[in-house]
Structure 1
Amino acid sequence: MKAVRFHEYGGIDVLRVEEVERPVPGPGQVLVEVRAAGIQPGEVMIREGARHGRWPAIFPSGQGSDLAGVVVETGPQVRGFAVGDEVVGYTHSRASHAQFVVVEDVALTSRPEGLSWDVAGSLYVAGTTAYATVFAVDPGPDDTVVVSGAAGGVGSLAVQLARRRGATVIGLASERNHGWLKDRDIVPVAYGEGVAARIQEASGGRVDAFIDTFGDGYVELAVELGVRPERMNTIRDWQAAAKVGARTYGEGAAASAVVLGELARLAARGELEVPIARTYPLERVQDAYRDLEQGHTHGKIVLHP
């Protein structure tokens, strides 16, 4: 089969699509033929070695967590899945950017009718991260919540999930994404110089919670806006969070097929939109990451193995 590999830390040019042995599922595992697999900013940091202390790579390394596809083989003692089932899932083995991937049965949920392959294959990391960030700050109908990176892969889901709880949601995004936010009952605010004043004006002077999906000073901005540390959450700036006592709930806090299944059903019913920015064939994995690393992508970028 074909799979993405890199043999050393580095830039986009270290990524290769190579012929490798097709894996065999063991007890409690299934082999999935991948139809779609999302890519993540965190994978860039791992590939570059910037997260070696936290998530070291073993070379040659694969990559990819998100996946959706069809079960083509099952190992012994598999529960709830059979050959031919269409599934949504994830792997923690950095292996989904490939034509086939072995997945634990507990890391899968059925693909709901009406859910596109692209959405299904890019839902896990962004979806569970967004779910965790909203859980962390616990917004309610009387709250005003600010979300940075509100049009990105995680932010675009976090604003919707927070709004579903009845909160007033202010989304920080470039002006080209303001229309999308307004259409989903999110108050758009442009980021950049003077953003604190613009948030104060949009919120009427009170911000109760802050979800940071971008990093780069937004924890400090939340402090400036008077948000209590226990109602701040960042998925990028752990150092700033440690200084002020903010939360750092991310994918790991909601890493389950139960949460993934809930998000998949919301998306299938049209109650949660998962924007797809672009798709690329597996052979163009380098182009996909060039696109991602330019930043300010509205929604998810997806590989088609």
Structure 2
Amino acid sequence: MRAIQFTEYGPPAVLHTAEVPPPQAGPGRIRIAVRASGISPGETYIRAGTLRDVVPTTFPYRTGFDAAGVVDQVGDGVTGVAVGDEVFGMTTMAARGANADFAVLAAWAPKPPAWSWEEAGGAAGSVETATRVLDRLAVGAGDTVLVQGAAGGVGAVAVQFAVARGATVIGTASEGNHAFLRSLGAQPTSYGPGLVERVRALAPAGVDAVFDCAGGSLPDLITIAGGTAQVVTIADFAAAAHGVHMSHGVPADSTGTALGSAADPQAVHGLALAVALAAEGRLRVPVAAAFPLTEAAAAHELSESRHARGKIVLVH
């Protein structure tokens, strides 16, 4: 089968398509024939070598964490799913390898009929991350939440999940994405200088929680939240220096000192919630761009621009 991998750190050009043996579904796992898979912004850092001291990498490194496709193998002990079912889900953090013709999933849910393969292929990682952080922040009905970087793959899903919980959501994005954020249910504002004042004007009673999907603005976000306890970032590697929790899923034994926090438990229950919200027409998975599997390098280039609206996916 084809799989995307790299054998050295470097720019997107180090990614290449390799012919490798297909993985097998072990106990508690399923294998899918992949129809679409997601590009993870975190993997662009891994590929570039930025996280070499945080994420131990053995070459060749096969990319991809979330995918959607048709079940073609069911491991021992798995119930509730059968060969031929259409599903979306994610691999383990350690195994990855979803950017391939076949992928083994550790968590999955039925593909919502309303979603295209592209939407489903990029959904699981954003859904799990959004659920994990909103759970940690204990976001609920009546809360006001700021999502910094709300137009990206995780941010757009986080907005919709927070709205579904009954929260009022303020989202930051470039002005060209403000109408998009309104369509998701958020009050938009711009990031950058003056953010504290703009958010206070939108939420004079204060903000209960801040979900940072962009990085680089923690001092302002702490001021907006009135302290560090209600700020969680997934994008700022200086979090520990600011006393802010960085939520991630990399094995704790490799990140305790480098990121200042152990891995949070994966929120795989978010997948079932996503299915329910999609059935009600309350969850969209915005797709910024879809590339053929063989153009993974171009997909990584777009991801590194940090200007994509929604998720970047590979189609198989």
Shorter-chain TM-score above 0.5: yes
Distance 2:113 2:215 in 1: 36
Distance in 2, matches of 1:211 and 1:120, equals 23
Q: CA deviation at 1:257?
A: 4.1
Aligned equivalent of 2:115: 115
Which residue of the partner structure matches residue 63 of structure 2? 63
* 1:243-281 per-position Cα deviation (integer Å, ceiling 9, x unaligned): 444333345646254321221331243111211111111
8 Å contact kept, 2:132–2:267: no
Q: Is the contact between residue 210 and residue 225 of structure 2 (CA under 8 Å) also seen in structure 1?
A: no
CA contact (8 A) 1:148 1:214 kept: yes
Contact 1:174–1:191 under 8 Å retained in 2: yes
Q: Residue 153 of structure 2 contacts residue 311 of structure 2 at CA under 8 Å; is this kept in 1?
A: yes
Measured in 1, the distance between the counterparts of 2:85 and 2:192 equals 47
| CA distance in structure 2 between the aligned counterparts of 1:167 and 1:28, rounded to whole angstroms | 36
Residues 59-208 of structure 1 mapped to structure 2, 5 A cutoff? 59-92=59-92, 93-104=95-106, 107-204=107-204, 206-208=206-208
Is 253-262 or 230-239 further displaced after alignment? 253-262
Structure 1 35/164 Cα, relative in aligned 2: closer, same or farther at 3 Å? Answer: same
| 1:276 matched residue in structure 2 | 287
The farther-off stretch of 72-81 and 146-155 is 72-81
* Counterpart AA for 2:23: P
Gaps of 5+ in 2: 250-262
Q: Aligned-pair distance for 1:37?
A: 0.5
> Counterpart in 2 of 1:246?
244
Deviates more, 1:203-212 or 1:144-153: 203-212
**Post-superposition CA distance 1:200-249 (Å, at most 9, x none):** 222226222211111112x2112222523221111122433x34443333
- 2:270 match: 259
Partner of 1:22: 22
Mark the CA change 1:259 to 1:205 in structure 2 (over 3 Å): closer, same or farther: closer
Q: Displacement, 1:89? A: 1.4
Regions of 4+ moved over 4 Å: none
Q: Could you say which residue in structure 1 is the equivalent of 2:228? A: 229
Distance across 1 between alignment mates of 2:90 and 2:9: 23
Q: TM-score, normalised by structure 2?
A: 0.88
On the 8 A contact 1:46/1:56 being kept in 2, the answer is: no
CA RMSD of aligned residues (A): 2.0
CA contact (8 A) 1:130 1:250 kept: no
Q: Alpha carbons of 1:268 and 1:142: their partners in 2 closer, same or farther (altered >3 Å)?
A: closer
8 Å CA contact 1:35–1:69 kept in 2: the answer is yes
Q: Flag the 1:78–1:9 CA change in 2: closer, same or farther, 3 A.
A: same
Does the CA contact (< 8 Å) of 1:181 and 1:187 recur in 2? yes
Report the counterpart of residue 254 of structure 2 in structure 1.
Answer: none
Unaligned segments of structure 1, at least 5 residues: none
Change (3 A) 1:108 1:224: closer
Give the AA of the match of 2:104.
Answer: V
Q: 1:233 and 1:140 mapped to 2: Cα distance?
A: 16
One-letter code of the match for 1:120? A
User: Normalised by the size of structure 1, how large is the TM-score?
Assistant: 0.91
More moved, 145-154 vs 223-232: 223-232
User: 2: CA distance between counterparts of 1:141 and 1:26?
Assistant: 40
How far apart are the structure 1 equivalents of 2:264 and 2:136?
9
Residue identity matched to 2:293: L
1:228 alignment partner AA? G
- Give the number of aligned pairs: 301
Partner of 1:38: 38
C-alpha separation in 2, matches of 1:213 and 1:2: 31
2:312 equivalent to 1:301: yes
Counterpart of 2:222 in 1: which secondary structure? helix
Q: Return the letter of the residue paired with 1:147.
A: V
SS of alignment partner, residue 224 of structure 1: helix
Distance 2:44 2:146 in 1: 26
**Cα 1:283–1:191 shift into 2, 3 Å:** same
Partner AA of 1:204 in structure 2? P
